Structure 1
Amino acid sequence: MRPLIDAEAAAAWTDAVRIDVRWTLGGDSKEAEYAAGHLPGAVWLDFDRDVCGPAGPVGGRHPLPDPEALQAVLRAAGIDDDSPVLVYDDGDGMSAARTWWTLRWAGLEDVRVLTGGLRAWTEAGLPVEAQVPASATPASRKFAQRPEGNVTVRPGGLPVLDADGAAAWAAEHDLVDVRSPERYRGEFEPVDPVAGHIPGAVNRFLAEDDLGDLDRVRERYASLAEPAFYCGSGVGAARSALALTAAGRPTPPVYIGSWSDWGSRGRDVAHGEAS
C-alpha cells in the first residue's frame, strides 16, 4: 500500500476519512486554523492529546498513546476497522507521518499521507471549508458528520524499539539518528537536557529526506541494510520511516521514545562524529 498520495488523487479518494493533524513543536494548538479552513469533511485531531500519550519523567515527549484512549478517539472520528484514512498537516509531513505511523501500528491498513499537506491542496486549487463538525460533548468527541466508528486498536502493526532495543540495534545493525548534525554531535541541544547521541548510531538528517524526491531517499539509505530510526521524540523518526516506506523499503523500526526517553533514563551518551 503506497503511503503517500498527491492532492489530485486525494480529492478523488472520497471514501477516506480525512484527518487534520496540523501541529507545531512546542507551539499552541492549531485547532483555530482548522476551524478557519480545512479539507471538506476533515476531522480535527489534536496531535499531542489525541495521537500521542502524555509525556512523563521517562518514555519521551511523544510516547505511544494508550490503546483504549486511541481507540476512543478514532471511533469518535468515524473510523472503522476497514476505513481508508487520509492524514494531512501543514505540509512538512512531521505530524502527519507520525499519525500515519501510529495508525499503522494500531492495526489500520490503508492510511496515506497527503504529500505537501494543506499547502499542496490549496495550491492545486482544491476547495477548503470552514464548517466545524459539532461535538456532542468535549468528552465524547462524537462528530456530527460521521457516525461513530467501530475500529478496534490492535497494537503491533509496526515494529517499535525501546531503549534496550535501540542499544541492541545499534550494536548489530544501523541505528539512524535523524536529528541535525549539530544535535547528533552534541554541540547543540535546544530541547532535551542531555546532548549527544546513542552510542553506535549514525546520522542522516531528516531535512534531506524529501517526500517529493524518493529517488534521493533511496540513494541516502542504499548503504544501510537494516536501518531503524530515532530523533528527539519519535516524530521526525516517523517521517523518515514514512519516506523509506514510500521509497519501497520495508517500514523500519522506530524508537518512539527517542532521545528524550534515552536521556531521561541516564543511558550512555556519545559525542562527536560516528566512530
Structure 2
Amino acid sequence: MIKFFRKIRQKMLIENKFSKYLIYAIGEIILVVIGILIALAINNWKENQKLRNQEITYLNNLRDDLETQINMLDIYIDYENIIIDHSNDIIEHYELNEGFKNMDSIFPKLNDLTTRWTFSNANTTLLQMLNSNQINIIQNTKLKEELIGFNQQIDLFTRNTNINNTNLVDNLTTGTFISSGGFASYGNSKRMVQKFNDFYPFQNKIINDDDLKKILIQVINEPKNKLEIANKITYRNTISSLQKSGNEAIKDKAVQLLQLLNEEIELHKK
C-alpha cells in the first residue's frame, strides 16, 4: 500500500502536476490522521472494555465479601443475644431469690460473661481497592461513595469493638466473673459451648468437688462481692446491648449496600 502511494506521488511529480500532487498529499495526510484516530479509538475502546471487565470482577467480589460480612454479623448478633439473655436470667434469678442462691443452673450463665467475640472486617476486596486506589474503577458515583462510607463505618466499629473487649470486658469484668463464677465447678452453659463449637471445638474441664461449691456460695454472697458482681453483671449486659446495636446497624448498612451492588451488576449484564 505504501509503495502504491509512493508511485502515484512520483508520477505526479514527473508529470509536473504540482497542484494535483498537493491536493493528493493533503488527502493522504488526512487519511493517515483518520487512520491514527481510528486506531486510538479502537485502543481506547479496548482499554475501556478492560476496565469495565475489571469493574465487573470487583463488583462481584465486593458482593461476595458483603454476603460473608452479613453472615458474620448474624453470628456476632446471636452471640451478644446469649450474653444479654444470660445476664438477664442471672438478674431475674437474683431478684427472685434475694441473692445468689440455688445457683446450679445460673453459674454456667455467669461463666459465659467471661467470654467476648471479636469483630472481623470481611470486606477484603474493598480494602484492596482503597489501598491501591482502584476504587475509581467504579463508575457509579453513589455506589462508590457508599462503599467508602461503609469502610469508614466498619473501620471505626472494629476499633471500638477491640478497645471495648480489652478495656471493658477483659480488664474490667472477666477477672471478677472467673474468680466468683465457679468456672472450675460448672464451666460454660450448653448454649455457649454449642456456639463456640460451631467454630472452635472445645469442652470444659470440670472439677467435681462439693466443698468448692459450698465455699463458692459463701464467697459470692459476701456483701462486698455481691455488690461488685451485681454491678458487673448489669454492666456486661449494657456492653453487649450496645455491641448488638452496633452490629445491627452495620448489618442494615451492609444489606442496603448489597442491594446497590446487585442493581449495578444487573446493569452491567444488559
| TM-score bracket, shorter-length normalisation | under 0.3
Give the number of the structure whose residues are more often strand, by fraction: 1
Give the number of the structure whose residues are more often helix, by fraction: 2
